[in-house]
Structure 1
Amino acid sequence: MDDTQSNERIDITDYICPMTFVKTKLKLEKMDPGEILEVKLCEGEPLSNLPRSVEQDGHKVLAIEKEEGRYHKVIIERC
């Protein structure tokens, strides 16, 4: 998904659930519909819960990409 430019980025690697979703939700609320948010998070519970939670909140997960080490990047479109 390298061709998608994110409008905003957030690093939530220092947070655990449910704060990973809370931080992401607060960031998305400040964005306009159609804008793209890039979220850096850790594998495990945050990676399994965050994509599902943001989709249940009405947004679109465009991609989930593996990064170096135990980190991942979730690309979300604000709807």
Structure 2
Amino acid sequence: MDARGKTVRLDLRGVKCPLNWARAKVRLERMARGEVLELTLDDPRGARDIPGAAEAEGYVVLESAARDGVFHLRIER
């Protein structure tokens, strides 16, 4: 649990863009304001496109990092 609220984790490894954003968006829409969605993905296109798509929808991207070919995003509802 972090200071902002509940953290929800979603592993999207193996899911290609744009389906990974569609799944993340569905999850974000079900969350309460202030909750954080932590995404793990291995699709470079999704890692590049999801932050912009999330911000366009009014979400806040807290973190975008890559480690060993795996991308980690934290998005606040």
Residue range with higher mean Cα deviation, 20-29 or 43-52: 43-52
Cα pair distance change 1:42/1:31, threshold 3 Å: same
How many positions carry a matched residue from both structures?
75
Cα deviation digits, residues 10-58 of structure 1 (max 9, x gap): 0111111110110000110110011011000125201110111111111
Aligned match of 2:51:
51
Tell me the residue number matched to 1:71.
Answer: 70
Let me know the Cα RMSD of the aligned residues.
1.9
Structure 1 runs (4+) greater than 2 angstroms displaced: 3-6
TM-score, with normalisation over the residues of structure 2? 0.86
Aligned residues with identical type, % of pairs: 28
**So what's the TM-score if we normalise by structure 1?**
0.84
Cα separation, 2, equivalents of 1:5 and 1:63: 16
Q: 1: distance between equivalents of 2:4 and 2:70? A: 19
Match of 2:62 in 1: 62
